[in-house]
Structure 1
């Protein structure tokens, strides 16, 4: 019922309520006159319609407005519970939940999926040099970039301060590498301007892949990708590495 009211819109709902109120008032007045066995008075019917015609729109506009506001607040709370407010990506808890769902789905369908973990390079240095406002701007910029790059079926989330993870359904190792290469390329081209200062940033990536025949749980897969990420950082950053379990 709430969803229907929200979709119909406040104005239309108020109009419908007002019409119903007028019809009820006129109908009850008509029935009352019938039981009283008096001559029908059209003027009394008109008077019966006037009051709800004035009161119903005002009262219903206020009440429906409150109702719509409650729905919007519920939606906002749901969004806050699932998404990181700075980047627009899933928060850690929501990401791990979605990742586990994809894991069991892939098991049933016997398909592979890629697991990618990414960390923004030298992020602490950026915060120290340019301030946390710059750091937040870079995180927001990266979130916008990710949402433009990923497929609708991909799962992306912020799982730490400057650490992100991706689940790529129906994706093998070669395709996961292509994803990482493209992401690194577009990240390296980004420039964020803060207080007239142009700031560039890069990222490091670790990759693993889940195959139907392996028994790695989703946490194990993310851990393997995370280890590969640290290898990428040790190799000089701004690159990707594949988990040793796939080499």
Structure 2
């Protein structure tokens, strides 16, 4: 029903409702006259038709508009429940849900997939030095960057304050490395402007793989990638490291 209303559109739907109302008004008026045993009055039919043409569009325009507004609000609520407002990426709950789905699908088809955990470097320092507005701008900029870098099949979400998770379906270790290298280079070239100051930022990445024969669950794999991330932090940041299990 919702899809039909959205596809047809408000104006067309009002026209359809008005035509149906006009036909019903004429039909009911004829039926009523026949029941009462009166001769068919074209004046009564004309009045019924005019009433339907006047009342139906006014009432249906309001009701259809109200219903479409409810649909719009429902869609926004669904988006708010799934997406992080600053980055536009999946929030933690939605990311983990999609990750579980990908895990099940990969197991079924005996495929591997890569898991990356990314953390923006020195984010707290940037917030302390330039204010939280700068941090928010970086998160917004980073979200736009990610959307331009990932494939449609890739899953990415904000899983912490400045921490992000990636699921790359049908991706081996070599392609995971290439993705991480390209992403780090692209991030390093980015900057945001606030109060006349250009602020650059970098990131660190941890990588692990999920193999078809592995019994590791999503939480275990994320933990592996997270440990690799801390190795990247210890190695000087602005780099990536691979979990020992797949290195």
Is the aligned partner of 1:125 residue 2:88? no
TM-score w.r.t. the length of structure 1 is 0.97
- In the other structure, the counterpart of 1:192 is 192
| Runs of 4+ with deviation above 4 angstroms | none
- TM-score, normalization by structure 2: 0.97
Q: Secondary structure at the match of 1:198?
A: strand
Name 1:8's counterpart in structure 2: 8
Post-superposition CA distance 1:211-231 (Å, at most 9, x none): 112211111111111111111
Give the whole-Å Cα distance in 2 for the aligned partners of 1:140 and 1:18.
Answer: 46
In structure 2, the residue matched to 1:237 is 237
Question: Cα deviation per residue 1:56-97 (whole Å; 9 max; x = unaligned)?
Answer: 111111111111111111111111111111111111011111
- Unaligned 5+ residue runs, structure 2? none
Inter-partner Cα distance in structure 1 for 2:192 and 2:46: 66
1:211 maps onto 2:247 in alignment: no
* Paired position in structure 1 for 2:79: 79
- Asked if residue 88 in structure 1 is aligned to residue 56 in structure 2, the reply is no
SS at match of 2:74: helix
Distance of 2:203 and 2:213 partners within structure 1: 31
Partners of 1:222 and 1:32 in 2: how far apart?
72
What aligned pairs does 1:1-247 form with structure 2 within 5 A after superposition?
Answer: 1-247=1-247
User: How far apart in 1 are the matches of 2:54 and 2:196?
Assistant: 57
Which ranges in structure 1 are unaligned for 5 or more consecutive residues?
Answer: none
